[in-house]
Chain A
Amino acid sequence: MNISIKSIDGRKILSLLEERLDSACSARFRDTIVDLLEEDGQPLIVDLSAVGFMDSSGLGALFIAKKMARQRSASFVLVGLQPRVLVMLDLSRMTDLFEVFPSIEDALAKI
Chain B
Amino acid sequence: MLDRDVIRVDIWVPNQKRYLKLIGNIAEEVIHALDDDGGDHEALAFHLNLVLTEALVNAIEHAIDESPEQLVRVSISVEDGDLCARVYDHGHGFDIDQIPYPNLDIPEEKGRGIFLMRTLMDAVRYRKSGSGNVLEMRKRLACGPPA
Asked if B119 lies at the interface with its beta carbon under 8 angstroms from chain A, I say: yes
A93-B105 contact in complex given A23-B57, A55-B54, A56-B113, C-beta closer than 8 Å:
yes
Q: Determine the distance from Cα of A12 to Cα of B119 in the docked complex, in whole angstroms.
A: 36
Asked if B15 lies at the interface with its beta carbon under 8 angstroms from chain A, I say: no
* Residues of A within 8 A of B (CB-CB), count: 22
Asked if B20 lies at the interface with its beta carbon under 8 angstroms from chain A, I say: yes
Q: Determine the distance from Cα of A79 to Cα of B24 in the docked complex, in whole angstroms.
A: 24
Stretch at the interface among B1-9, B45-53, B89-97: B45-53
Q: Determine the distance from Cα of A59 to Cα of B116 in the docked complex, in whole angstroms.
A: 12
Interface centre among A55, A60, A63 (most CB of B within 10 A): A55
User: Which A residues lie within 8 Å of B113 (CB)?
Assistant: 56
Asked if B104 lies at the interface with its beta carbon under 8 angstroms from chain A, I say: yes
Whether B108 and A19, one on each chain, are in contact in the complex, defined by CB atoms closer than 8 angstroms, is no
B98-128 interface bits toward A, Cβ cutoff 8 Å, 1 = contact, 0 = none: 0000001101111011001001100000000
Q: Determine the distance from Cα of A67 to Cα of B18 in the docked complex, in whole angstroms.
A: 27
Q: Which interface class (under 10, 10 to 19, 20 to 34, 35 or more) fits B?
A: 20 to 34
Asked if A5 lies at the interface with its beta carbon under 8 angstroms from chain B, I say: no
Whether B17 and A56, one on each chain, are in contact in the complex, defined by CB atoms closer than 8 angstroms, is no
Contact of B20 among A23, A64, A84, A87 (CB under 8 A): A23
User: Which B residues lie within 8 Å of A92 (CB)?
Assistant: 104, 107, 112, 116
13 contacts between A and B (CB under 8 A): A20-B21, A22-B20, A22-B21, A22-B24, A23-B57, A24-B20, A56-B112, A61-B109, A64-B109, A87-B46, A88-B50, A91-B116, A92-B112
Sample of 8 more A-B contacts, CB < 8 Å, known A53-B24, A93-B107: A20-B21, A22-B17, A23-B53, A24-B21, A56-B113, A60-B110, A60-B112, A91-B119
On B, residues with C-beta under 8 Å from A are 17-18, 20-21, 24, 46, 49-50, 53-54, 57, 104-105, 107-110, 112-113, 116, 119-120
On A, residues with C-beta under 8 Å from B are 19-20, 22-24, 53, 55-57, 59-61, 63-64, 84, 87-88, 91-94, 97
Which 6 residue pairs spanning A and B have beta carbons closest together?
Answer: A60-B109, A24-B17, A56-B112, A93-B104, A23-B57, A55-B53
